[in-house]
Amino acid sequence: MAGGTFITFEGGDGSGKTTLIRSLMDRLERNGREVVVTREPGGSPIAEAIREVILHVDNTAMDPLTEALLYAASRRQHLAEKVLPALARGAVVVCDRFVDSSLVYQGYARGLGIDSVWEINRFATEGRMPDLTLYLDLDPQIGLSRIEASGRRQPDRLDLEGLDFHTRVREGYRQVAAMFPERIVMLDASGDPGPLKEQVWKLVSARLESR
């Protein structure tokens, strides 16, 4: 098994993933760790090409299971090409969204079923799941208003889906967190960034020291 530590962040739009990942990366580096921060498809050209098939405007006829398989395929390539080699070197790998996002978005919110999506993702990851997942739980309305207030990016297609969809996403995350209680820690993401950063640091450093 790889010697590094694999940490993922999950949560709805505007829940604070990027903010907390940046602060964690700085702190890990100050502690002399090799840190690899990534997100799918993570600059892997093959994973990127698979993702382009999913997102291509011409592919409106795409079957939902095909879509789920392609997401799993893209994830597999990013894992094999980027995450596993970094873990083998002993790095701390911090990934912005991973398997749980598929379980929640395709499995729960889009209705394919969490169990079916988990089956293909278990195959794709060969069981190499994160050592620790931090799920940022937040009222989706607050998340969307943070994105709007920041003005840093235009709301995308998913942001603009109805509040219903985002509410299902939150429900889905809570179900998935309950499925993997030893791996996923749910954090109340409505608080101030400072205390949240401290909470993340405590959880991650405890995980690193336990190895």
Ligand X SMILES: Nc1ncnc2c1ncn2[C@@H]1O[C@H](COP(=O)(O)OP(=O)(O)OP(=O)(O)O)[C@@H](O)[C@H]1O
- Residue list, annotated binding site for ATP: 11-18
Which option in Mg ion, ligand X, none does residue 196 bind, with CB closer than 5 to 8 A by kind? ligand X
Please identify, among the stretches 10-18, 73-81, 149-157, 173-181, the one whose residues bind Mg ion according to the rule CB under 5 A: 10-18
**Partner that binds at residue 147, options Mg ion, ligand X, none, CB closer than 5 to 8 Å by kind:** ligand X
Q: How many residues does the chain have?
A: 211
Residue 14 found at the interface with ligand X (CB under 6 A): yes
CB 8 to Mg ion: min, Å: 13
Shortest Cβ distance from residue 76 to ligand X (Å)? 23
Longest CA–CA span in the chain (Å) reads 49
Q: Which of 4, 7, 17, 78 binds ligand X (CB under 6 A)?
A: 17
Task: Decide if residue 199 touches ligand X (CB under 6 A).
Answer: no
Nearer to ligand X, 4 or 14 (CB): 14
Question: CA-to-CA distance for 19 and 199, rounded, in angstroms?
Answer: 13
65 or 160: CB nearest ligand X: 160
155 near ligand X (CB under 6 A)? no
Q: Does 76 bind ligand X (CB under 6 A)?
A: no
Is 18 among the residues that bind ligand X (CB under 6 A)?
yes
Give yes or no for residue 116 binding Mg ion (CB under 5 A).
no
Burial 48-86 (b: 16+ CB within 10 A, else e): eebbeebeeeeeeeeeeeebbbbbbbbbbbbbbbbbbeb
Task: Say if residues 88 and 97 touch (Cβ distance below 8 Å).
Answer: no
Given 7, 9, 16, 18, the residue binding Mg ion (CB under 5 A): 18
- Contact (Cβ atoms closer than 8 angstroms) between residue 138 and residue 16: yes
Specify the DSSP class assigned to residue 208. Answer: H
- What's 128's DSSP letter? -
Is residue 19 part of the contact set for ligand X (CB under 6 A)? Answer: yes
Structure tokens that stand for 201 in this block: 């640091």
Residue 144's contacts (CB-CB under 8 Å, 6 or more residues apart) are 13, 14, 155, 159, 166
- What residues make contact with ligand X under the rule CB under 6 A? 11, 13-19, 146-147, 150, 152, 192-193, 196
